[in-house]
A = this chain, B = another copy of it.
Amino acid sequence: MPRKTPFNAASEPFREMGATLKTQLDFIFKPKSVAVIGASNNRQRWGHGTLQSVIRAGFRGNIYPIHPKEKVIQGFTAYASVLDVPGEIDLAVFIVNAEQTVKAMEECARKGVKGAVVITAGFAEIGNSGKEMQNAMVNIARRSGMRFVGPNCLGIWSSAVSLDCCFYKAPLAGPIAFVSQSGTLGEYLLEIALEKGYGFSKFISSGNQADLDVCDYLEYLSEDQDTKTIVLYLEGVRDGRRFLDISQKVIREKAIIMYKAGRTSAGMRAAMSHTASLAGNHELFEAACRQAGIIRSTNILEAFDVAEALAHQPLPRGNRVAVTSGGGGFCVTTADACAAYGLEVPELDSDTQRRILSLLHAYSPPPKNPVDMIARKGPMSHAEIIEILAGLDYIDGIIMTPPWGGFHRDTPAEFMKELIDSAERIAQVPQRFGKPIISAGAREYRKHPIYEILKKGEIPFFEGPDTCARAMQGLVQYARAREHARARG
């Protein structure tokens, strides 16, 4: 049975976050039941993979494959139409062709389906005939109160109910929400993020945004308990004013990191033929976003690194960083990178230098900042030095390499134990001192026992000095932006 239309149908899109939008989108991101329209037993069909993803990622609600003829698909009872499904359906995922989508959506409206993800392509992006079908679909949705993602998208991931209708390998669950106007790039990036160990609360491939658009997602995510940080890949924004207004509100609580594509003429040309997005005046838009407090990224991979830091670490009060490593080269390159990103690496006062020197062997280089710990007296000195640095009122955050050494089979047990204890003390520093720590290490080190300890402390982990500094800059940027946004009220 169709629910009552909760808004002024077809004329007025949602302008304010309210219980209504939240309720509507919860049906999409926290459904109790999912119908897969176009599910298939034929492994060559997209509908096979989509149902596979839903099952494999571990969705525990009801799953209803919809297919005109099959009785059982991948072990689940199949139905010819959503109208034949005995229970209620919160969410319908569409992977039939465009014509069939319109017809099936009518049936969904009659059934009272509450939300949809329309993966199907062949709508507005192919021209007038597609545009008509897209409008028809929007009208059905408006009439019935159904909201939908897409069309012409890759699907969604929602950690809240382990719902994956797009990826071969589901993302890890975690605090980053990612809204992407590109499906394949989104998939690609999530694959890299998975390798890096980053977790996601939501992935939303927004597609043609015929109904729900990036502004709706932002509103929804701003109150989403699972989301701490939002990454946007945008090729164009329909309503720039609304986007900025909503963003200003969102960043009072959560950071937004945006890669806006089409910042050059070649990029604009590509965006145009990709999603027919009019990139508009890029510089004006960027300036407005900066003013709104959105963190802009010009390197889409790096956007996730910054998001990872923002999702896990306390915000610094300023831009003053201590750099420390068990090796001089890392100290030098990180100090350079910090300066390049507008971070200060203040020289330590002489009293602090003396305190740190007492934890180092006599032949150590002077610990002015950066602090080269190559000749620390023992594993615990590592933690003690980090604590001294974190305790300084003129240090706002720390970039370090962790105490990796000494996990060979001949490492004495006492030494190993001290290393572990040291890492555990370091892992508590961000909480204890309210200051962020960013850590560096080759990816291979993620197999290292110390990494597990840092991970429990939510200390973000990056490969190179440059990325560490960029992530710290992101923390500084957001700390300032949030302060301004809250001051504005």
Residues of A whose CB lies within 8 Å of any CB of B are: 43-44, 121-122, 126, 180-186, 188, 191-192, 195, 233, 235, 259, 261-267, 269-271, 273-275, 298-302, 323, 325-333, 335-340, 344-345, 347, 363, 365-366, 368-370, 372, 374, 408, 410, 412, 442-444, 463-466
Contact = CB atoms under 8 A, between A and B. Distances in A.
A190 to B, nearest CB: 9
A186 to B, nearest CB: 7
A185 B329 contact: yes
Contacts of A410: 43-44
B327 A184 contact: yes
Contacts of A183: 327, 329
A469 to B, nearest CB: 10
Contacts of A327: 182-185, 188
14 contacts: A43-B410, A121-B363, A182-B327, A182-B332, A184-B374, A188-B442, A191-B442, A191-B444, A263-B336, A266-B345, A267-B333, A269-B370, A270-B328, A270-B332
Copy count, this protein chain = 2
Given A181-B329, A188-B330, A270-B370, 9 more contacts: A43-B410, A44-B412, A191-B444, A262-B332, A266-B344, A267-B339, A273-B372, A274-B331, A300-B466
A195 B443 contact: yes
A161 to B, nearest CB: 26
Nearest to A328: B274
A205 to B, nearest CB: 10
B192 A331 contact: no
Given A301-B464, A366-B273, A442-B191, A329 B233 contact: yes
Contacts of A126: 363
B372 A300 contact: no
A167 to B, nearest CB: 12
Contacts of A300: 333, 464-466
Contact of A235 (B44, B262, B332): B332
Contacts of A273: 328, 365-366, 368, 372
A327 B466 CA distance: 28
A275 B328 contact: yes
Q: Which of A195, A274, A333, A464 has the most CB of B within 10 A?
A: A333
B338 A466 contact: no
Contact of A261 (B262, B325, B332): B332
A374 B347 CA distance: 53
Given A274-B332, A329-B182, A336-B261, A299 B267 contact: no
Contact of A332 (B271, B332, B339, B443): B271
A44 B409 CA distance: 11
A479 B267 CA distance: 25
Contacts of A323: 266, 270
Nearest to A408: B43
A369 B270 CA distance: 7
A123 to B, nearest CB: 11
B335 A267 contact: yes
Contacts of A265: 339
Contacts of A181: 329
Contacts of A182: 327-330, 332
A126 B366 CA distance: 11
A391 to B, nearest CB: 21
Contacts of A443: 192, 195, 443
A460 to B, nearest CB: 17
Nearest to A410: B43
Nearest to A345: B266
A335 B188 contact: no
A192 B336 contact: no
A399 to B, nearest CB: 12
B335 A270 contact: yes
Contacts of A275: 328
Contacts of A333: 185, 259, 261, 267, 300
A203 to B, nearest CB: 13
A44 B336 CA distance: 35
